[in-house]
Structure 1
């Protein structure tokens, strides 16, 4: 059994933009195939640069705020209650386009290596 609480976790920087902060509830090795289970907070105008993962898919759930996610050049809105799954090797970028903080809860799942990018 693993247990964590957001209010007792330290803030860490998101690897794609150190100004964006996250709290990691579960890490690689805590559960099979799970790479992380985290919550990130994007200030208005902040974005996580376009990137792809060769051996991981990610699932994003919008807790609050609004933004957009670009996946392979296609633009999708991020609104509260929205869930978006990004497959391995899909290039994705998250942006806060609103005037309030964008709060995303997300997790990554390890998949078979799809080759190098």
Structure 2
């Protein structure tokens, strides 16, 4: 068992943009296949640049604010209450296009990759 409190966790930088801050409530090793369970806060105009994960899928839930997520070249609106699942290998970029803070709660799940024996 592990209990955390969002209000007691120190902020860290998001790897795709160090100006965006997150709080990691659960991290790799806390539960099987979970890479993280976090909350990120994007100030207006902040962007987590396009990237993909070869061994992880991610799920984003929009707590508040507005923005966009681009997945494999298609742009989708982000609004409070939206839930977006990003599959392994999908290139995604998140931007706060609104005038208020964009708050996302998200988690990543490690997806085993098939490896061929030599």
SS at 2:113's partner residue? coil
CA RMSD of superposed structures (Å): 1.0
* Alignment partners' CA distance in 2, 1:43 and 1:3: 28
Unaligned stretches of 5+ residues in structure 1: none
Could you state the TM-score of these two structures normalised by the residue count of structure 2? 0.95
Q: Which has the larger radius of gyration?
A: 2
Deviation at 1:113, TM superposition (A): 2.2
CA deviation profile, 1:62-100 (whole Å, cap 9, x unmatched): 000000000000001100000000000000000000000
1:90 equivalent in alignment to 2:99:
no
Q: How many residue pairs end up in the alignment?
A: 115
Matches within 5 A, 1:1-117: 1-113=1-113
* Alignment partners' CA distance in 2, 1:90 and 1:76: 14
CA deviation profile, 1:4-60 (whole Å, cap 9, x unmatched): 011100000000000000000000000000000000000000000000000000000
Deviation at 1:112, TM superposition (A): 1.7
Give runs of ≥4 in structure 1 deviating > 6 Å: none
